[in-house]
Amino acid sequence: MGRLPLLRATITETLRLRPPAPLALPHCTRRHTSVGGVPVPAGSIVIPNLFAAHHDPETWHRPDEFLPERFLEPGAPWRALVPFGCGARSCLGEALARAELFVFLGHILHHFRLEPPVPGALPKLGVTAGTVLRCPPFCVRLVPCHPPKSSWTPLFPIGHQSL
């Protein structure tokens, strides 16, 4: 992952803009506290809003824009990034999910160029809220980066002498 920092930053920015689930699992407060100046008594059930946290303009510069380069710069707010939840109930599969995203997307981008089906027709990035965020369906063309290789390879290429 260290050899492809822009791919890692792109995945991270995608998870910031569209976390797998907009709300984390419920948490129970152990003691009296406050959130944003609002008192929260001990024993209260709180549900962290990950989507709102990832779009907070006090934490994120231009929060509604797709800017993967924000994670390439020093001082990126990594601690505010919680796409897989936070605390004791954060997703145990986060490392595996990130690794799978990296390998899958890296493999696709190594072999294909992604293009809209019609030039200039980019997908809409709006979402429908729910248990998970849903983007409207869209199409994309996968254009091979390299010409396909023949599945047949001669045992002795022309001009090669066999012994």
Does 91 carry a binding-site annotation? yes
- Both tokens assigned to 62: 């231009």
- Both tokens assigned to 101: 């995203």
In this structure, the dihedral spanned by the alpha carbons of residues 26, 27, 29 and 33, taken in order and rounded to 10 degrees, is -80
Strands (E), the chain: 27-28, 33-35, 38-40, 45-46, 112-115, 141-144
Binding residues for heme: 91
Annotated binding site: 91
